[in-house]
Amino acid sequence: MSATRPTDDGRRSGGVLAYVGNALGGGGWLLLPVIALLAAAVWLPKLPVTRDAYDHLVIFDVSQSMNVEDYRIGDRVVSRLQFAKHAVAEALKNPKCDTRIGWAVFAGRKIVTLLAPVEVCRNYSALLAALDNIDSRMAFERSSEIQEGLLWTMTNVRDLKPLPTVIFMTDGHEAPPLPPERIRSYDGALGEVRGWVVGVGGLQPQPIPKSDQDGRRIGFWRATEVLQWGGAANVTGGTRHEHLSELREAHLQQLAKNVGFGYTRLIDTQSLDAALHDRELAHPAVVETDLRWIPGLLALLLLGWWFRPDQRPARQAG
Amino acid sequence: MIDGQNLPLDFAMPWALLLLPLAALPLLRRRREELAFPSLAWLPKDRLGIWVERFGRAAAVIAILATVLALARPGRPEWDVERIGRGAEIVVLFDSSLSMDDEMLARGAHPKRRRDSPLRKRNIARQALSAFVERRPADRFSLLMFGAAPFRVTPFSQSPEVIQAGITAAGISNGLPGTDLGRGLMAAIEQFNGRAYTGSRVILLVSDGAAEIDEITRQNIRNGMRQNRIALNWIYLRSVNWPRLDSEKEPEAVGLITDVAMHRFFKTLPTTYKVYEAESPDAVAKAVADIERAQNLPLEYRERIPRRDFTPYFYLTAILACLGLLAHRATTVRSFSR
């Protein structure tokens, strides 16, 4: 029990000092650093801190083979493109505020940038709305020359400043088939434009849905409607069943290696982590950071220590 | 829609709330704060003492509680307020065809496709649009590009940053084959489908022309523009010293057949149509400024009030509680022996 009088000491020396001495005695002085830390927490401005930041341009292949439905979200069967979008949207769910992301689509031999990378936290819903708009109606050409598209990207992505890293999501299905002698090597400096090729699609050859220019399904591509590959099986993935499509992984690995990119396959929504959070792709960014939690936490630790429970239980009163 | 009034408080770092049980620590009776009395029976009941004791414990609890809450960074979440401003709902329809990569040059000069040229039509249009969006916080923008197919870049968005990112992207992409203006316009009209009419509606077409529209699509466009009550503004990026679209000369004579056909079709639209013939970066900027003046009708819009951080108040509360704790200690005896 406490009593309500200053100590005898205090009364003898008299005055305010006695009360102060009493307050600070017996470990009470610990409250002074606590108050100082809390005050620091109130008035501490945001400080610039260097952190890992990412700047991704995510490129979606929107050619017709990306409409092959060989993924599932829950028990719903979805197309490669839908699943790729879903995986990216999932990856954005817990955004780090120093990540910037933008969208582009690939068809023919080119990419078209839809959104230059923007900061994710502030623009989360707008980014998702824009992602939602991406579909195969955006295919501005009917062919899908992935090697050319990737090389084109390597050059043209430099128009974006700051230079983003590239996440290229495709099934590797070259249409028309790419003869091995047409494989080109990248003549730029490796490592300048960095990124990942993400392989999208299952390994079973599946019929490719055919759609008109407004995106309406009009059956499937037939064997006689597409250019078949007549030669022997080869690394570029040319087959005798070009009207069917499967993930042409060996070809994509080769393409990725050619431009110095990493390669990963999109199996589930976690697969993108390797690419999106690749430390190699991070660049240091100075971010104004709220550090008030540091003095705040220290103050809390001191308070907690000060009020720590006894080792032995308290005596029973009375 | 987030309603700020219903969500008065949220936490930016909610997991810090796991530390809340620490606030119970001062309530535990502690042996080292006890005074030993041989007998308590003779002591009178000390009402004041009990209250001073309670005050001390309460101050301690508040100090810890407020610090933990402050660590969780409380604040009022961002929310929207309805406001009436002056502005418009604007769909920017950006021609992304190959010719937009050309420089704006005098007739006869051979257009070059230099990537960083400030005279590139695409670059000029981008800069003017970017400045336009920046000066118009009350407007709602949606962005579409079109080549052979329309690209719905963003639906109507509250995020000017995203619109700017779209304009940046439109300014860098190399040209697309084809110029299917008809489908582009239809896609732009569709952006208004199902939206409540809240103010003036504009499609801002940025194009250097040379697009043909077939008769069926023309009729669809007329109907769509009428139903959704959309005005059309065309920033026509023409080359210097070409004749104007309304000039007396026959279009065939000056090689502007498709552009003049576009212009004549637009004049038959049931809603307002205005063309801004811009032949230089300055003229584009002027056209944009003109549209800015014209599109200033009252518009309901939502203003986003950013999140308000209450963290400092909680730290201040903790400081006050600590001062209270000191005051309490100043007036109490904790030990007979010194």
pLDDT at position B110: 65
For residue A311, tell me if it sits in a domain.
Answer: no
Q: Which residue has the higher pLDDT, B145 or B197?
A: B145
pLDDT at position B249: 65
* A279 in the same domain as A180: yes
Residue B165 reports pLDDT greater than 80: yes
For residue A119, tell me if it sits in a domain.
Answer: yes
* A132 in the same domain as A36: no
* A165 in the same domain as A17: no
* A88 in the same domain as A33: no
* A258 in the same domain as A129: yes
DSSP string, A194-211: -EEEEE-S-SS-EEPEEE
* A159 in the same domain as A29: no
* A201 in the same domain as A174: yes
Q: DSSP label at B115?
A: T
pLDDT at position B2: 42
Stretches where chain A sits below pLDDT 70 are: 1-14, 94-96, 230-238, 240, 311-318
Q: Domains in chain B, start-ordered, CATH in brackets?
A: 10-35+44-78+306-330 (no CATH), 82-303 (3.40.50.410)
For residue A243, tell me if it sits in a domain.
Answer: yes
pLDDT at position B174: 64
Q: What percentage of chain B reaches a pLDDT higher than 70?
A: 80
CATH code of the domain covering residue A104: 3.40.50.410
* A301 in the same domain as A242: no
* A88 in the same domain as A22: no
Q: Which of A37-46, A222-231, B65-74, B140-149 has the lowest mean pLDDT?
A: A222-231
pLDDT at position B62: 94
Q: Which of A110-119, A283-292, B22-31, B248-257 has the lowest mean pLDDT?
A: B248-257
* A263 in the same domain as A130: yes
List chain B residues with CB under 8 Å of A288. none
Domain count, chain A: 2
pLDDT at position A3: 46
Give every CB contact of residue A87 below 8 A, 6+ residues apart in sequence: A266, A268, A269, A271, A272
For residue A138, tell me if it sits in a domain.
Answer: yes
Mean pLDDT of chain B: 80
For residue A82, tell me if it sits in a domain.
Answer: yes
Q: Give the distance from residue A233's alpha carbon to the nearest chain B alpha carbon, in angstroms.
A: 33
User: Which of A200, A141, A20 is closest to B149 using CA atoms?
Assistant: A141
Q: Which residue has the higher pLDDT, B183 or B148?
A: B183
Q: Give the distance from residue A32's alpha carbon to the nearest chain B alpha carbon, in angstroms.
A: 9
Q: Which of A114, A154, A288 should one mutate to test binding to chain B, selecting the residue with the greatest count of B CBs within 10 A?
A: A114
* A220 in the same domain as A102: yes
The tens digit of pLDDT for each residue in A137-157 reads 888 888 889 999 999 999 888
Provide the Cα torsion A222, A223, A229, A231; round to 10°.
170
Q: Which residue has the higher pLDDT, A227 or B111?
A: A227
pLDDT at position A196: 94
DSSP string, B185-233: HHHHHHTTTT----SEEEEEEEE-------HHHHHHHHHHHHHHTEEEE
Average pLDDT over residues B12-28: 88
Restricting to B residues 73-92, those with a Cβ less than 8 Å away from any Cβ of A are 73
pLDDT at position A318: 40
- Give the Cα separation of B35 and A2 in Å (integer): 7
List chain B residues with CB under 8 Å of A111. 173
Nearest chain A residue (CA) to B65: A300
ipTM: 0.76
Residue B228 near residue B115, CB atoms below 8 Å: no
- Give the Cα separation of A45 and B129 in Å (integer): 36
For residue A132, tell me if it sits in a domain.
Answer: yes
The tens digit of pLDDT for each residue in A41-55 reads 998 888 888 888 899
Grade residue B107 by pLDDT with cuts at 50, 70 and 90: low
Residue A149 near residue A108, CB atoms below 8 Å: yes
Q: Is the pTM of this model over 0.90?
A: no
For residue A215, tell me if it sits in a domain.
Answer: yes
Q: DSSP label at A67?
A: G
pLDDT at position A265: 94
pLDDT at position A6: 46
- Give the Cα separation of B203 and B7 in Å (integer): 37
Q: Give the closest of B145, B159, B332 to A3, CB-based.
A: B332
Q: Give the closest of A116, A139, A303 to B168, CB-based.
A: A116
For residue A318, tell me if it sits in a domain.
Answer: no
Domain range for A24 is 12-44+291-306
Q: Give the closest of B48, B153, B323 to A115, CB-based.
A: B153
* A279 in the same domain as A214: yes
Q: Which residue has the higher pLDDT, A115 or B283?
A: A115
Restricting to B residues 37-66, those with a Cβ less than 8 Å away from any Cβ of A are 37, 40, 46, 48-49, 52-53, 56, 60, 63-64
